[in-house]
Structure 1
Amino acid sequence: MLKVDAIDLYYGASRALSDVSLVAEAGKVTCILGRNGVGKTSLIRAIAGLTPVRKGTLTFDGKDITKLPSAERARSGIALVPQGREIFTQLTVEENLKTGFACLPREHRSIPLEIYELFPVLKDMLHRRGGDLSGGQQQQLAIGRALVTRPRVLLLDEPTEGIQPSIIKDIERIIALLRDRGTMAIVLVEQYFEFAKRLADNFIILNRGKTVLEGERVALEGQEVKAFLTV
C-alpha cells in the first residue's frame, strides 16, 4: 500500500500542495481530479520522487520513502507514465521499452511478452522510431515502458490527453485489466471525467493545492463533485 500523509510541496516560495493525503491499494484505481493548475501533477511527481516535499510523509509497504531518490523508488516498484508521454523520439520502440531496464536487476532485463499482447501495435512497430508514432501509439509506448519495470504502483498522469477515442477505450480496458489482477495499485490523474468515473475505486479532488473532496466511486455522481471540475 502507498500512503501519502499530509504533504506540503513548494516551488520556491509558492506552495503547490497543502496538507494533501492519499491512499493507493493493490487492486484499486485511485483518481486525482481537478481543474488545470490545482496540483495534480505536483502530487504525482511527489509520489515518484521527482519533486521533494517540505512537510508530511510518504510510505510504501510500511517503509518511509519521503527522502528516497526517484531512482530508488523506481527500484522499489513505483513507475510513472508522465504527462506528455516523454518518449525518446529518436530511439526505436524497442529501445524506448529497454530504457525501463535501468531500475531492474540484470536478471530481469527483458521485455515481458505480455506488453506486446496488451499493445500489439508496439510489436508491429518495434523497429520504428518513437517520433514516427501517432500520439495514441506513443501513449501506449509510454505505458508499456512503465510496465517493463514490473511495477507494484503505476502512476498515470493524464493518459487520455490528446488521444483519439479508439485508443482511449484501449487504455481504459488495459487499466481495468491491470487493476483487476489485484497485484498493482494504480494512481490516475485525469481530466476526462467519464473516463475517470468508469475506472475509479476511490478519488480525491484538488482545488488550489488542497483536497476539497474525497471518497469512493459512488460519490462521483454528486453535483458537488462536478462543481470542482467544470471551468
Structure 2
Amino acid sequence: MSQAQHGSRGGPDPIDLLPEEIFIKIIRLSIKADTPARDLAKLTAVCRLWKRILEEAPTFWTGATAAEVLEGLRRALRMVQDAPLDLKFDSSTAAVNIETFFQEMGSKISQWKTLFVNASGGSQVVGSTCPASTAPPTLEVLCFVYYYARSQVAHEIDLFGGQPAPASLKDVQLKSPLHSNASLSHSGIIQTQWTDSRAPPAPPKMEASASHPFARSASTMFPRHIFVCCSRFYAIQIWNCST
C-alpha cells in the first residue's frame, strides 16, 4: 500500500487504515464469475465497512456543492473538520439558493481553498457582498460567473467586502460586469485578463489591478463583461476597450 497521507489533524486519514489485503480481496472476488455465496457475503460486509471508513474521512467531504440539499451541506460541514474546502455553486443544479449556500459555508471561511460560482440565467440575485463580506484567508482559486437581467442590476458586487484579497489567491476568473475589484490588487495574482461586455450601472474599478505590484503590461480589448483569467506565471494584462 502506498504511504499513508496525513489527515488534517496530523494523523493518517481513516481510509489509509484500510489494510491492503481488503483491496486485493475485493478485486479478486469481483472478477470471479463463480464466486461462492459465502465470499459474496464477505465482499458485502467489506464494502459496507469500506463505505463507513470513507464517510468518516474528512477528505471525503471537502467538495461542498450546492447540488446537495441543506441537510447534506450541514453534514458535510460537520464531517470535514479542518480540511481545506472546495466550494461549488452552480445555479443550474443548485438545491439551495446562493444566499443560503454562503450563509452555511461562512462558518468554515477560514478553510476555503477553491470557490466556483455560476449564478447565470437570472434565477439567482447575487448580493453585494457575495460570496463573503470578508476575505477567505487561504483561498487559492476563485471563479465567479454572473449573468443577469437588467431589472436585477442594482449594485456592484464588492468582492470580500472591500477588504484586501488574501495573498494566497493566485488564479481568478470573473465574468460579470458588476464586480468592484479593487481588493484584487492586494493578492498574489500575476496575470489578469479582463473582458467587459455589458455596460453596468457603475464602471468596474480596474485601476487597482492595473497598478498591481506584479503588473508588467496592460492592453485594452472588448468593452462590457468582465473576464479575468489569472495565472501565477505571467504578468497582468487588462482588456477593456471601447466599442
Report 1 or 2 for greater relative contact order, CA contacts < 8 Å, sequence distance ≥ 6: 1
Q: Which has the higher strand share?
A: 1
Please report the TM-score for the alignment, with normalisation by the length of structure 1.
Answer: 0.32
- What is the TM-score when the length of structure 2 is the normalising length? 0.31
